[in-house]
């Protein structure tokens, strides 16, 4: 557990760096979290993050990676619609790293 | 060894401190660096490295809400923890005579010492199964034998309860994956997993509750599956897979039925199969098998989880609650048989415990009076020629198989002796031309755990996972080097998650990991049925 001072607010993160309170999320916070990992969020990253957030709003869970891949293929072109591309964007794995920047809880279970 | 311990005041001055405050200092969670060894293909017994992994401890569950639901203390270590500890241990010793027997009969022959993957990976002497168990035996001798009670710790080589000892328990009973490899070599047949499970239950009772495992147990009970997928999310995921199947095969009527009353088969699998990669690939395989066999089947949103983490903490009540969903769904949907997908502990609980929890299953088809494993179902169809197989679809693979510990050292598969080894291999050989086994001492009943079983799959345990995966990685390296193997076939969701992380860690491509039904799915030719 740690607390991040951000724009005059105290933001609580769990041991793995996920937001404790999902309502704390803002775009600027996502940028800051990524910068901590020396990552600059580009439009490509934001495509993924925005999709994760809208899926989460509907289903209260992140989409399976295949659904994400298909969506990226649709919006960004066939050459980008694959797992490899997503791992290039999020080296720690799209399911975990992208969810963290998107302010989603960490997936649990045998994953 | 046998010295009576004075309360440790060196680091924890002030007798007025609460036990919880003291223990928090001992088991502070810190992220540590982890390094894979360079692979040679041989598994060597390491030099002793005391305290090699003493710093790796799983995170504690702190959500009061979840702790309350699971019936555990909410404020960390209880002030009266010693009494609670001993009462719980007493209860377990009376309830499970096996635990008492195992504590009594060890003769310290040492046969188990170099059999544990965590010991082989770390060299930490407390990861020798006998030494790990000794943490419990010392308490047992002090408090539960007449000599210990009358003459104290020194006389019986026992140990007084202390926060320090408790921290050792919390550390090392969460560096055992209850895989039971050591038990295979024990001349007395001591089931060390039972000791670890009992230790975890005692730790829970005093308020040291591990996060990863218990968050999942809670989700499985409240929401219905380990991932916490709500009904609409499950339906969305399964419909997506169905659409993909239709799109890729061109077969219009291939389906993934959900909650369909009157289907012949209720199919249960870990929720990871609806979500994660490579798990999901096997789901395509299952659907193709059912479709081509022409057997009506259904999945259930109520029984949306096969995995049963209740097993890992020796808590029969939790295990029973999770397992109950499957049998409630089976009755409600009026199915004739229950088949389980690729999941290690699901299979162990389904095949070894279900019947005493919820049997007899007299409402099932008398021809299938017990749950079946998807591998036995598929192999039977292959043998009868009911599936049209094109092995050339898997031409690019030379396959080997990692026996999952919970299956390999579970009860059985297919009602036949050693079915749990032969049946999955039979399926692979039925759909692939090239199959090579890893060295004999690393497979079948002597298989190594993947390194993340029984609640150790969390990111907090990454160091332990990397070290514990070493024996399997050496064996994989061996067949890769000598036989050109390039696919590691698995039948467990934990193994899949662990191996797809460990292969890249040890320098292999992640794509070399997958389920057996991933291979089946690739090879099945859909279309005209050959007749069953």
pLDDT tens string, chain A, 111 residues long: the values are 788 888 888 999 987 889 989 999 999 999 999 999 999 999 999 999 999 999 999 999 999 989 999 999 998 898 988 888 999 999 988 888 999 999 999 888 888
Which three-class secondary structure state does DSSP give residue B417? Answer: coil
Q: Answer whether residue A109 is part of any domain.
A: no
CATH of the domain at A54: 1.10.10.370
User: pLDDT higher for A43 or B9?
Assistant: A43
User: Taking the model in full, what pTM does it have?
Assistant: 0.94
Q: Answer whether residue B464 is part of any domain.
A: no
Across the interface, do B276 and A60 touch by the CB < 8 Å criterion?
no
Q: Answer whether residue B11 is part of any domain.
A: no
In this structure, the answer to whether residues B205 and B224 fall within a common structural domain is no
* Cβ-based contacts of B493 with chain A (< 8 Å): 109-111
Q: Answer whether residue B386 is part of any domain.
A: yes
Across the interface, do B272 and A64 touch by the CB < 8 Å criterion?
no
In chain B, the residue whose alpha carbon lies closest to the alpha carbon of A59 is: B233
Checking DSSP bridges between strand A9-13 and strand A2-6, what pairing results, if any? antiparallel
User: CB-based burial of residue B46 (10 Å sphere; 0-12 exposed, 13-18 middle, 19+ buried)?
Assistant: middle
Q: Which of A43, A58, A108, A110 is catalytic?
A: A110
Across the interface, do A110 and B272 touch by the CB < 8 Å criterion?
yes
B414 Cβ contact list (under 8 Å, min separation 6): B372, B373, B375, B376, B379, B423
In this structure, the answer to whether residues B59 and B154 fall within a common structural domain is yes
**Assigned token pair, B482:** 């000598």
In chain A, the residue whose alpha carbon lies closest to the alpha carbon of B452 is: A110
Across the interface, do B212 and A108 touch by the CB < 8 Å criterion?
yes
Q: Answer whether residue A107 is part of any domain.
A: no
Q: Answer whether residue A111 is part of any domain.
A: no
Q: Answer whether residue B395 is part of any domain.
A: yes
In this structure, the answer to whether residues B45 and B162 fall within a common structural domain is yes
Mutate to test the interface with A, among B30, B276, B496, B514 (most CBs of A within 10 A): B276
Q: Answer whether residue A6 is part of any domain.
A: yes
Contacts 24+ apart (CB under 8 A), B219-225: B219/A108, B219/A109, B220/B305, B220/B307, B220/B308, B220/B309, B220/B322, B221/B69, B221/B318, B221/B321, B221/B322, B222/B69, B224/B301, B224/B302, B224/B303, B224/B304, B224/B305, B224/B325, B225/A109, B225/B271, B225/B304, B225/B305
User: pLDDT higher for B316 or A40?
Assistant: A40
Mean per-residue pLDDT, B458-485 = 96
Q: Answer whether residue A88 is part of any domain.
A: yes
User: What is the nearest CA distance from A110 to chain B, expressed in angstroms?
Assistant: 5
Q: Answer whether residue B214 is part of any domain.
A: no
Domain boundary among B163, B179, B209: B209
Q: Answer whether residue A65 is part of any domain.
A: yes
Q: CA-CA distances (angstroms) from residue B341 to A108, B287, B290?
A: 19, 11, 12
Across the interface, do A64 and B59 touch by the CB < 8 Å criterion?
no
Nearest to B276 by CA among B146, B9, B457, B449: B457
In chain A, the residue whose alpha carbon lies closest to the alpha carbon of B457 is: A110
Domain boundary among B209, B228, B245: B209
In this structure, the answer to whether residues B239 and B125 fall within a common structural domain is no
Backbone angles phi, psi at B160, to 5 degrees: -75, 150
User: What is the nearest CA distance from B109 to chain A, expressed in angstroms?
Assistant: 36
> Is pLDDT above 90 for B61?
yes
What total of structural domains would you count in chain B?
2
Q: What are the beta bridge partners of residue B337?
A: B265
In this structure, the answer to whether residues B262 and B364 fall within a common structural domain is yes
Residues of chain B whose beta carbon is less than 8 angstroms from a beta carbon of chain A are 29, 59, 62, 212, 215-216, 219, 225-230, 232-233, 236-237, 240-241, 244, 270-272, 274-277, 279-280, 307, 343, 457, 459-460, 492-494, 496-497
pLDDT (tens digit per residue) in B484-496: 999 999 999 999 9
In this structure, the answer to whether residues B170 and B230 fall within a common structural domain is no
Domain boundary among B156, B183, B209: B209
Give me the domain span that covers residue B304: 219-436+485-523
* Cβ-based contacts of A96 with chain B (< 8 Å): 459
**Assigned token pair, A6:** 């951000």
Give me the domain span that covers residue A39: 2-101
What total of structural domains would you count in chain A?
1
Q: Answer whether residue B450 is part of any domain.
A: no
In this structure, the answer to whether residues B57 and B105 fall within a common structural domain is yes
* Cβ-based contacts of A110 with chain B (< 8 Å): 226, 270, 272, 276, 279, 307, 343, 457, 492-494, 496-497
* Cβ-based contacts of A108 with chain B (< 8 Å): 212, 215-216, 219, 226-228
Across the interface, do B280 and A66 touch by the CB < 8 Å criterion?
yes
In this structure, the answer to whether residues B253 and B323 fall within a common structural domain is yes
Taking the CA atoms of chain B, what radius of gyration do you get in angstroms? 24
Task: Give the span between the Cα atoms of B187 and B448, in whole angstroms.
Answer: 19
In this structure, the answer to whether residues B295 and B425 fall within a common structural domain is yes
> Is pLDDT above 50 for B185?
yes
Give the per-residue pLDDT at B529.
58
Across the interface, do A64 and B212 touch by the CB < 8 Å criterion?
no
Q: Answer whether residue B5 is part of any domain.
A: no
For chain B, give the mean pLDDT: 93
In chain A, the residue whose alpha carbon lies closest to the alpha carbon of B29 is: A15
pLDDT (tens digit per residue) in B112-151: 999 999 999 999 999 999 999 999 999 999 999 999 999 9
**In the annotation, is A99 catalytic?**
no
pLDDT (tens digit per residue) in B317-353: 899 999 999 999 999 999 999 999 999 999 999 998 9
In this structure, the answer to whether residues B128 and B237 fall within a common structural domain is no
Across the interface, do A66 and B219 touch by the CB < 8 Å criterion?
no
In this structure, the answer to whether residues B96 and B241 fall within a common structural domain is no
In this structure, the answer to whether residues B107 and B228 fall within a common structural domain is no
> Is pLDDT above 70 for B531?
no
Taking the CA atoms of B128, B319, B143 and B164 in sequence, report the sign of the dihedral they define.
positive
Give the per-residue pLDDT at B209.
96
Mutate to test the interface with A, among B225, B233, B239, B465 (most CBs of A within 10 A): B233
Cβ atoms of residues B87 and B76 within 8 Å? no
- In b/e form, how buried is each residue of B1-28, taking b as 16+ CB within 10 angstroms? eeeeeeeeeeebeeeeeebbebbbebbe
* Cβ-based contacts of A83 with chain B (< 8 Å): 277
User: CB-based burial of residue B366 (10 Å sphere; 0-12 exposed, 13-18 middle, 19+ buried)?
Assistant: exposed
**Assigned token pair, B471:** 């024996």
Q: Answer whether residue B442 is part of any domain.
A: no
């Amino acid at each position: 557990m740690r607390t991040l001072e951000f724009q005059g607010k105290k933001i609580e993160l769990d041991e793995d760096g996920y937001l404790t309170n999902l309502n704390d999320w803002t775009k600027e916070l996502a940028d800051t979290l990524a910068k901590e990992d020396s990552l600059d969020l580009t439009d490509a990253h934001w495509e993924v993050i925005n999709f994760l957030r809208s899926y989460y709003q509907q289903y209260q869970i992140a989409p399976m990676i295949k659904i994400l891949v298909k969506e990226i293929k649709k919006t960004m072109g066939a050459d980008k619609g694959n797992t490899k591309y997503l791992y290039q964007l999020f080296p720690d794995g799209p399911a975990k790293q992208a969810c963290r920047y998107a302010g989603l809880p960490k997936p649990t279970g045998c994953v | 060894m046998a010295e009576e311990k004075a309360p440790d005041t060196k680091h924890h001055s002030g007798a007025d401190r609460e036990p919880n405050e003291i223990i928090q200092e001992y088991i502070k969670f810190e992220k540590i660096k982890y390094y894979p060894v360079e692979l040679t293909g041989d598994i060597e017994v390491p030099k002793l490295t005391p305290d090699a992994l003493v710093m790796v401890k799983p995170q504690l569950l702190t959500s009061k809400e979840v702790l309350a639901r699971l019936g555990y203390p909410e404020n960390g270590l209880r002030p009266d923890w010693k009494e609670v500890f001993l009462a719980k241990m007493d209860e377990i010793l009376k309830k499970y005579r096996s635990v008492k027997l195992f504590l009594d009969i060890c003769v310290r022959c040492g046969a188990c010492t170099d059999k544990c993957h965590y010991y082989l990976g770390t060299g930490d002497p407390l990861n020798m199964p006998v030494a790990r168990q000794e943490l419990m035996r010392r308490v047992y001798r002090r408090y539960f034998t007449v000599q210990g009670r009358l003459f104290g710790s020194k006389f019986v080589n026992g140990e007084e309860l202390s926060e320090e000892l408790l921290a050792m328990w919390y550390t090392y009973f969460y560096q055992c994956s209850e895989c039971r490899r050591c038990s295979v070599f024990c001349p007395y047949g001591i089931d060390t997993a039972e000791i670890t499970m009992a230790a975890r239950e005692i730790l829970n009772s005093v308020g040291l509750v591990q996060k990863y495992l218990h968050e999942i147990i809670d989700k499985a009970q409240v929401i219905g599956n380990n991932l916490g997928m709500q009904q609409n999310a499950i339906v969305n995921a399964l419909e997506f897979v169905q659409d993909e199947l239709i799109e890729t095969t061109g077969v219009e009527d291939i389906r993934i039925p959900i909650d369909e009353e009157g289907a012949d088969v209720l199919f249960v699998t870990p929720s990871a199969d609806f979500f994660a990669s490579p798990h999901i690939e096997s789901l395509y395989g299952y659907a193709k098998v059912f479709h081509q066999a022409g057997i009506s089947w259904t999945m259930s949103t109520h029984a949306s989880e096969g995995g049963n983490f209740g097993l890992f903490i020796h808590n029969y009540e939790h295990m029973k609650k999770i397992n109950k969903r499957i049998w409630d769904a089976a009755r409600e949907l009026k199915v004739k048989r229950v088949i389980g997908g690729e999941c290690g502990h699901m299979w162990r609980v389904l095949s070894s415990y279900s019947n005493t929890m919820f049997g007899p299953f007299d409402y099932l088809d008398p021809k299938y009076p017990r749950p079946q494993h998807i591998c036995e179902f598929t192999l039977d169809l292959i043998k009868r020629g009911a599936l049209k197989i094109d092995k050339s679809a898997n031409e690019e693979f030379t396959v080997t198989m990692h026996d999952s510990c919970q299956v390999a050292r579970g009860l059985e598969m297919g009602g036949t002796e050693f079915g749990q080894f032969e049946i999955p291999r039979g399926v692979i050989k039925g759909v692939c031309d090239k199959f090579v086994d890893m060295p004999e001492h690393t497979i079948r009943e002597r298989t190594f755990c993947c390194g993340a079983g029984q609640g150790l799959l969390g990111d907090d345990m990454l160091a332990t996972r990397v070290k514990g995966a070493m024996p399997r990685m050496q064996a994989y390296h061996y067949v890769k080097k000598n036989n050109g193997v390039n696919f590691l076939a698995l039948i467990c969701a934990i193994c899949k998650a662990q191996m797809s992380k460990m292969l890249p860690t040890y320098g292999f491509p992640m794509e070399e990991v997958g389920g057996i039904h991933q291979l089946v799915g690739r090879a099945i030719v859909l279309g005209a049925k050959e007749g069953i």
